[in-house]
Amino acid sequence: MDFSRVEFIKGVYSLKELPEPIWPEIAFAGRSNVGKSSLINRLVRRRNLVKTSSRPGKTQALNYFSVDERMYLVDLPGYGFARVPKQMRSSWEHLITGYLERRETLVCVVVIIDLRHELKSQDRELVDWLRHHQKPFLPVYTKADKLSKNKQMKNAAALDAALTITPDKRVLFSARTGQGREDLESRLANYVEN
């Protein structure tokens, strides 16, 4: 799969606007500022396909991209901004959970987590929800370049334990150095091809 053959399709603001489910799709989720945009840009080899550091209060859309005319990449709005008004949070939840629950062509949710920190409650809630709904997901621990190799291993093991997964079930990543990009690419291609 050629991840650099990428094209923006549309921003989706309600479930009615979802594109025809013609391809398998992979969604990318994570707390705001976790490095989701940087990860996607690195994956598709573009500097600025996805704008980095989007701010709270902005309209939140599911951003659809086609990849290699074979899959959709779906950039979900970041979560975890305490300052987002309650009303906006609940419309976010409605859109995202409705999407995750009902989209039959969704083959994997990439859950992006900051390798430097302990698992946050919202990440745990998302993973619990995905497990409960039997949705395949792939944790990616990012910003690995900010830590020594030793600390990377130690923190990754702590996150594995918190998520009750084995190391073969996640990817260590750095958008800055490209560490883990090939690993991520081949896993995502597997989800699409199988």
Choice from 18, 27, 28, 35 touching ligand GDP (CB under 6 A): 35
- Residue 1's alpha-carbon distances to 47, 81, 102, 141, in angstroms, are 19, 34, 26, 23
193's tokens: 């091809």
For the CB of residue 122, give the shortest distance to ligand GDP in the complex, in Å: 13
Candidate segments 33-41, 81-89, 91-99, 130-138, binder of ligand GDP by CB under 6 A: 33-41
Q: Give bridge partners of residue 7 from the DSSP assignment.
A: 66
Choice from 70, 146, 162, 185 touching ligand GDP (CB under 6 A): 146
Residue type, 151: K
Which x/- pattern over 67-106 shows residues binding ligand GDP (rule: CB under 6 A)?
Answer: -----------x----------------------------
Our CA angle for 26, 30, 35, nearest 5°, is 100
Q: In terms of CB distance, is 133 or 154 closer to ligand GDP?
A: 154
Positive or negative, the CA dihedral 171, 84, 98, 14 is negative
Candidate segments 92-100, 103-111, 151-159, 172-180, binder of ligand GDP by CB under 6 A: 172-180
Contact 16, 63 (CB under 8 A): no
Helix (H, G, I), strand (E, B) or coil at 151: helix
For the CB of residue 167, give the shortest distance to ligand GDP in the complex, in Å: 19
Q: What is the footprint of ligand GDP within residues 43-62 (CB under 6 A)?
A: 52-54
Contact 175, 147 (CB under 8 A): no
Our CA angle for 156, 161, 163, nearest 5°, is 95
For the CB of residue 165, give the shortest distance to ligand GDP in the complex, in Å: 21
Q: In terms of CB distance, is 60 or 142 closer to ligand GDP?
A: 142
Q: Beta-carbon neighbour count of residue 20 at 10 Å? A: 6
Q: In terms of CB distance, is 71 or 144 closer to ligand GDP?
A: 144
- Residues near ligand GDP (CB under 6 A) are 30, 32-38, 52-54, 78, 142-143, 145-146, 174-176
